[in-house]
Structure 1
Amino acid sequence: MSTAKILDRKAKIIEIVWDARAKPEDFDRVTKEVQTFSQELGGSFDVIVDMRTVKAFMPESQGKLVEHQKALKDFGMKRAAVIVSGAIAKMQLKRTAKEALHSTESHWESYEEALLFLKNNL
């Protein structure tokens, strides 16, 4: 199941873990959760996104990913560090980020490196 939580209140980092079988309703639910967390963090935050199990999102979910990325920007997201291992998922992310006009996304192969990037570049 896809999940979202506040990972680090002090550094204002929200963690999203996407399930390989994420459905459109999962994107809607996680987006609403992030909106709530954003308000708790004062409307400005970074996000670490764990997509290590995702090879590719289902076609019906790809449009929701664009909506999700736009919404997070509107909620105050500054940067996204995405852990992704699949080549197809990485290509999808690049395309959806372009569609969402989202240029603050970086891709990582290691969760630890992605988190260190967010914490060291406050």
Structure 2
Amino acid sequence: MSTTRILDKTDRVIEIVWEQKASPDDFDRITGEVKRFSKELGGRFNVLVDMRSVKAFLPESQAKLVEHQKDLLSFGMQRAAVVVQGAIAKMQLNRSSKQSENAVESHWDSYEEALAFLKANK
């Protein structure tokens, strides 16, 4: 099951871990939780997205990904560091970023490097 949590209150980092079979309902649930976390963090936050287990999102979830990214931007997302290794998943992310006008996303091979990036660039 895909999950989200506040990873670091001081640095305002929310973690989202996507699973391979993330459904449209999962996107809705995670988006709602991030909205709540955003309020808890004062309306400004960064997101560490762990997609290491995702090779590609399900076709029915791809449209939800665009909506999800737009919502997170409207909730106050400053930057997103996405740990992604699958080539197809990277292509899906690039396409959804363009469609959602999400210019604050960067892709990483390492979870530790992605987290360090978010903490260093407050």
Which sections of structure 1, spanning at least 5 residues, go unmatched?
A: none
Q: CA deviation at 1:105?
A: 0.2
Residue deviations 1:1-40 (CA, integer Å, cap 9, x gap): 0000000000000000001000000000000000000000
Q: How many angstroms apart in 2 are the aligned matches of 1:64 and 1:21?
A: 13
Q: How far apart are residue 85 of structure 1 and its match? A: 0.3
Show the 5 A alignment for 1:98-113: 98-113=98-113
Distance of 1:79 and 1:60 partners within structure 2: 26
**Is 2:92 aligned against 1:65?**
no
Looking at structure 2, the residues matched to 41 and 76 of structure 1 have their Cα atoms a distance apart, in angstroms, of 10
* 1:1-122 aligned within 5 A: 1-122=1-122
The one-letter amino acid of 2:104's match is T
Structure 1 residues 75-96: Cα deviation after superposition (integer angstroms, max 9, x where no partner): 0000000000000000000000
**Alpha-carbon displacement from aligned partner over 1:49-87 (angstroms, at most 9, x marks no partner):** 000000000110000000000000000000000000000
Aligned length in residues: 122
Q: Give the superposed CA RMSD.
A: 0.3
Quote the offset at 1:42 in angstroms: 0.3
Q: Percent identity, aligned pairs only?
A: 66
Residues in 1 aligned to 2:45 and 2:27: alpha-carbon distance in whole angstroms: 19
1:34 partner amino acid: V
**TM-score with structure 2 length normalisation?**
1.00
